[in-house]
Amino acid sequence: MHRLQSVSAGHVVGVDIGGTKLLAGAVGPGLEVAHQTRRDVWNVSLAVLVDAIASAVEEIAATVGPVEAVGLGVPCTIDRRTGIAVQAVHLPITDVHLAAVVGERVGVPVVVDNDANCAVLAEARFGVARGLSEVVLLTLGTGIGGGLVLGGELYRGAVGAGAEMGHMVIDMDGPPCQGNCPNRGCLEALASGTALVREAALRVARRPDTPLGLALEEGELLTGVLVTELAFRGDPVARDAIETVGRRLGVGLSSLVNIFNPEMIVIGGGVIAAGELLLAPARAELAARALAPGRDLVRVEAAAFGPEAGMIGAALMAREEAVAPSHP
């Protein structure tokens, strides 16, 4: 089995695992990303997921040289008392000590945390929320992850399973949530990338004579990327779908403003590619629903690191928790 050399001058690798794919990169001390690679992890077993992580790390090591540690950002509840990854909505992770399993494969220390915790750490330390002490982050992709910085510190809850804000209910009679979530009407079910595709499908079925309908007729796959691209070109169905998702997002944001009174809400994940087409209706809904003075203080911004926020944050955690203690 190939082992990675661990030396003090090496890179750390951040791995951001989503519901359908993972992004891994070698991140230097100045947050420079030396090499990136992706893997498909849609509908895979735990063994295949671990293989994908290990192969991504090994590819990076072969390209950039020695690796000191690996940080994993996983869309999963984590029990920090035991290090167990307890439950993922979209991945085959149930009661797994993922740091130990992956560490055995790659031969260097591995640090594991929730993917949105990694992302909010990156944005609060070095990104769009730099210098702020009260920050909420949502990552919009296959699902919706949540991260919190409160009082300048990453907030994880009593045992590390907190900030699952994507599973905040905004419609008690809404559609069933995804994967292993037992709830209905979650923000994730109504405002994620998956929800955007569903909304576009419903609308284009009623209006097939639009650019989106023509693209589907010509064999294009209905994806969030396609919907976003056509929305920027003015397709009315695509724009309406994004606006609807944005307004639902704003409903959730208004509750987060009332609960946490944050200085900033950061929106990341792949869906943020829609930019102001998504954020403008979200801000409008927030302004109409949230209480003063919180609604007047908060800013809603796109993540500075975009879809790399989770990867960079995972690398930050690995450097701080696995590398820095051994190199004072």
pLDDT of residue 295: 97
pLDDT of residue 42: 87
Residue 326 pLDDT > 60: no
Q: How far apart are CA 135 and CA 152, in angstroms?
A: 8
Domain with CATH 3.30.420.40 in the chain: 11-114+308-326, 128-303
Q: 273 falls in which pLDDT band (50, 70, 90)? A: very high
Residue 276 pLDDT > 70: yes
Highest CATH level, class, for 128-303: alpha beta
Q: What are phi and psi of 223, to 5 degrees?
A: -130, 165
Residue 298 pLDDT > 60: yes
Nearest to 34 by CA among 54, 52, 14: 14
pLDDT of residue 195: 97
Task: Quote the tokens at residue 9.
Answer: 């001058």
pLDDT of residue 318: 95
pLDDT of residue 109: 95
pLDDT of residue 163: 94
Nearest to 122 by CA among 88, 147, 98, 141: 147
pLDDT of residue 68: 94
Nearest to 245 by CA among 219, 213, 272, 263: 272
| Pair type for strands 135-140 and 110-114 | unpaired
pLDDT of residue 324: 67
CATH T-level assignment (fold) for domain 11-114+308-326: Nucleotidyltransferase; domain 5 (3.30.420)
pLDDT of residue 176: 96
pLDDT of residue 1: 30
Residue 7 pLDDT > 80: no
Residue, of 198 and 178, whose pLDDT is higher: 198
Residue 8 pLDDT > 70: no
pLDDT of residue 180: 87
Residue 173 pLDDT > 90: yes
| Across 208-217, average pLDDT | 96
pLDDT of residue 3: 36
Q: Using one digit for the tens of pLDDT, what is the confidence trace for 28-85?
A: 888 889 899 999 998 899 999 999 999 999 999 999 999 999 999 999 999 988 989 9
Please give the single-letter amino acid code of residue 220: E
